Homo-oligomer: A and B are copies of this chain.
Amino acid sequence: MKTLHPAPGVIETHLRSLPLFAGLPSGDVARVAEGALLRLYEREEDLFREGDEARDLFCLVQGVARALRTGPGGKEKVLHLATAPGLVGEVPTMAGRPFPATARCTEECTVMVVPRRALLDLARRDPEILLRVLASSLMRLKELAGLLAEHGERSALVRVASYLLGHLQQGAVDLPAPKKDVANLLGLTPETFSRALAVLRDDGAIEVDESTVHVLRREEIERLLEAGD
């Protein structure tokens, strides 16, 4: 982990690009920016660990990180894939509670670190911020609920198909992390994930190129979802 010293104004620019701080008076943003740092994290380095006290808000400026829980056997379960630009751990930071999961960089990440204190000051002036954090917490809840519901009652193939349709943009899906991590997020082993993609590929429904999945025949995939429930 390395601390960067960007030109003045860079931090403010990054802050403004986040929905959480959008539409705030410039004075407020400046005050938050004062205490903020810019850091560079290496691959597989942790932003924080499950159980750590939440002292800072982490804003992912560049790179990808995953939220995970580690079982006693050392195996990790991916709960979320966070991509830039976005926040990581904003809920526990605001609530002043320990992090419920570990955040680990999947690749080299540029991260803005905002001290909790600055956030609390901001919230005192404008409680609206709390509502926004609450809303993002709700989104996360919904996401986890969706994962949980899918894990039980859907086959591997259907889960993969569902993921692809849910992340489809302009005819393709860009996997935000190595396939093994996406597989883990879906509750699958890398082998099973690979096989599922192979089936779709052999059906002519998709085409896989590195971390990009081109969807050739969307109907094919949709048909799977209807049938497989």
Residues of chain A whose beta carbon lies under 8 Å from any beta carbon of chain B: 69, 71-73, 75, 77, 79, 91-92, 94-97, 100-101, 123-124, 127, 130-131, 133-135, 137-138, 140-142, 144-154, 187, 225-226, 229
Would A149 and B77 count as touching, CB distance under 8 A? yes
18 contacts between A and B (CB under 8 A): A69-B146, A69-B148, A71-B154, A71-B229, A72-B225, A73-B153, A77-B148, A91-B137, A94-B131, A123-B127, A124-B127, A127-B127, A137-B137, A137-B138, A137-B141, A148-B187, A151-B187, A152-B187
Residues from chain B with a CB closer than 8 A to the CB of A138 are: 91-92, 95, 97, 100, 137
* A interface: dominant SS: helix
6 other contacts beyond A69-B145, A95-B135, A127-B127, with CB at 8 A cut-off?
Answer: A71-B149, A71-B229, A123-B127, A140-B141, A141-B141, A144-B145
Q: Does A77 contact B141, Cβ atoms closer than 8 Å?
A: no
Chain B, residue nearest A142 (CB): B100
Query: Chain B nearest CB: distance from A165 CB in Å?
Result: 13
Copies of this chain in its oligomeric complex: 2
| C-alpha spacing A91/B91, complex, angstroms | 12
Do the beta carbons of B153 and A75 come within 8 Å of each other? yes
Most buried by B among A71, A72, A137: A137
Which residue of B123, B134, B148, B152 is within 8 Å of A137 (Cβ)? Answer: B134
Q: Which of B71, B79, B97, B149 is within 8 Å of A153, CB to CB?
A: B71
Q: Which residues of B contact A72 (CB under 8 A)?
A: 225-226, 229
Which residues in B have their C-beta under 8 angstroms from that of A152? Answer: 77, 151, 187
Whole-angstrom distance between the Cβ of A180 and the nearest chain B Cβ:
14
Complex Cα distance, B226 from A21, in Å, reads 45
In this complex, which of A71, A77, A130, A138 has the most chain B Cβ atoms within 10 angstroms of its Cβ? A138
